[in-house]
Structure 1
Amino acid sequence: MERLSRSTTLPASVARPTYDRAALRPGIVHIGLGAFHRAHQAVYTQRALAASFGPWGIVAVNLRSPEPVEALEAQDGLYSVVVRGSDGDAAEVIGATVDWVCAARDSEKVLAYLANPEIRVVTLTVSEKAYGLHPATGGLDLAHPAIAADLAHPHAPTGVLGFLVEGLALRRAAGVSPFTVLCCDNLPSNGRIVRRLVLDMAGRRDPDLARWIADKGSFPCSMVDRIVPAATEATRSLAETLIGARDSLALETEPFLQWVIEDDFVCGRPAWEAGGAIFASDVEPYEKMKLRLLNGSHTLIAHLGLLHGLEYVRDVMAVPELVDQVRRHMKAVVPTLDPVAGIDLDEYQRQLLERFANPAIAHRNIQIAMDCSQKLPQRIFAAAVEALAAGDAAAEFAHVVALWIAVVRKRMDCDDPRREEILAAASSLDPSDPSAAFLAIPGLFPPELVAARGWRDRVNDELEALASTSSRNNP
Structure 2
Amino acid sequence: MKSLNRSIKAEELPVHVTYDYQENLPEKIIQFGEGNFLRGFVDWMVHEANKQSLFNGKVVAIQPTPHGRVVPKLNTQDGLYTLALRGIENGHVVESNEIISSISRGINPYSDWDQVLKVAESPDIQFIFSNTTEAGLTYLQEEYEENDSPLSFPGKVTAFLYHRYNVMNASPDAGMVIIPCELVEGNGDLLKELVLRYAGEWKFPAAFSQWVEEHNQFCNSLVDRIVTGYPKDNIKEYYELLGYEDILLTSGEPYHMFAIEAGEDVAECLPFHKAGLNVKWGDVTPYRELKVRLLNGPHTLMFAACYLSGVDTVLEAMEDADLGEFVKSAMNEEILPVVNMDEEEKRQFADSVIERFLNPYNKHYLVDIGMNAVYKFKSRLVPTLLDYVQVNQKLPRSIVFSLAALIIYYRSDRQDGEFLIGKRGDDEYTIRDNKEAITALSQAWEQFAKSENVSQLVTGILQNHELWGRDLNELEGMNALLVECISGILKCGMKDSVKKFAATATK
TM-score by length of 1: 0.88
Map of 2:255 onto structure 1: 256
Q: How far off its partner does 1:325 sit? A: 1.6
Following the alignment from structure 2 to structure 1, what is the Cα–Cα distance between the partners of residues 82 and 237?
11
Cα deviation, 1:119-146, whole Å, max 9, x if unaligned, reads: 1100001112223x2xxxxxx343xxxx
Map of 2:109 onto structure 1: 103
Q: Percent identity?
A: 23
**Residue 168 (structure 1) aligned with residue 171 (structure 2):** no
Following the alignment from structure 2 to structure 1, what is the Cα–Cα distance between the partners of residues 262 and 495?
54
Q: How far off its partner does 1:410 sit? A: 7.7
Map of 1:348 onto structure 2: 349
Following the alignment from structure 1 to structure 2, what is the Cα–Cα distance between the partners of residues 232 and 13?
18
Map of 2:74 onto structure 1: 72
Map of 1:16 onto structure 2: 19
Q: How far off its partner does 1:397 sit? A: 2.4
Map of 1:124 onto structure 2: 130
Following the alignment from structure 1 to structure 2, what is the Cα–Cα distance between the partners of residues 4 and 266?
37
Map of 1:322 onto structure 2: 323
Map of 1:278 onto structure 2: 279
Equivalent pair of 1:235/1:250 in contact (CA under 8 Å): no
Equivalent pair of 1:111/1:163 in contact (CA under 8 Å): no
Distance 1:212 1:470, change over 3 A: same
- Map 1:186-225 onto structure 2 (within 5 A): 186-205=183-202, 206=204, 207-225=206-224
- Map 1:414-433 onto structure 2 (within 5 A): 414-417=431-434, 418-429=437-448, 430-432=453-455
Query: RMSD of the alignment, in Å?
Result: 2.6
Distance 1:316 1:214, change over 3 A: same
Q: How far off its partner does 1:391 sit? A: 4.2
**Residue 3 (structure 1) aligned with residue 22 (structure 2):** no
**Residue 380 (structure 1) aligned with residue 381 (structure 2):** yes
TM-score by length of 2: 0.83
Following the alignment from structure 1 to structure 2, what is the Cα–Cα distance between the partners of residues 238 and 284?
41
Map of 1:228 onto structure 2: 227
Distance 1:171 1:375, change over 3 A: same
Q: Secondary structure at the match of 1:23?
A: coil
Map of 2:269 onto structure 1: 269
Higher strand share: 2
Q: How far off its partner does 1:35 sit? A: 0.8
Map of 1:364 onto structure 2: 365
Q: Which amino acid aligns with 2:160?
A: G
Map of 1:458 onto structure 2: 481
Following the alignment from structure 1 to structure 2, what is the Cα–Cα distance between the partners of residues 425 and 349?
36
Q: How far off its partner does 1:442 sit? A: 4.5
Cα deviation, 1:273-320, whole Å, max 9, x if unaligned, reads: 124132232102212321222111111221122221212221111112
Map of 1:182 onto structure 2: 179
Equivalent pair of 1:62/1:101 in contact (CA under 8 Å): yes
Distance 1:335 1:411, change over 3 A: farther
Q: Secondary structure at the match of 2:330?
A: helix
Q: Secondary structure at the match of 1:321?
A: helix
Q: Which amino acid aligns with 2:328?
A: R
Map of 1:39 onto structure 2: 40
Q: Secondary structure at the match of 1:349?
A: helix
Equivalent pair of 2:130/2:181 in contact (CA under 8 Å): yes
- Tell me the number of residue pairs that the alignment of Structure 1 and Structure 2 aligns: 457
Q: Which amino acid aligns with 2:352?
A: Q
Q: Which amino acid aligns with 1:78?
A: L
Map of 2:241 onto structure 1: 242
Q: How far off its partner does 1:270 sit? A: 2.0
Following the alignment from structure 2 to structure 1, what is the Cα–Cα distance between the partners of residues 177 and 394?
42
Equivalent pair of 2:176/2:215 in contact (CA under 8 Å): no
Gaps of 5+ in 2: 415-421, 423-430, 498-507
Equivalent pair of 1:122/1:181 in contact (CA under 8 Å): yes
Map of 1:26 onto structure 2: 27
**Residue 402 (structure 1) aligned with residue 404 (structure 2):** yes
Equivalent pair of 1:123/1:182 in contact (CA under 8 Å): yes
Q: How far off its partner does 1:464 sit? A: 3.6
Q: Which amino acid aligns with 1:437?
A: G
Gaps of 5+ in 1: 134-139, 143-147
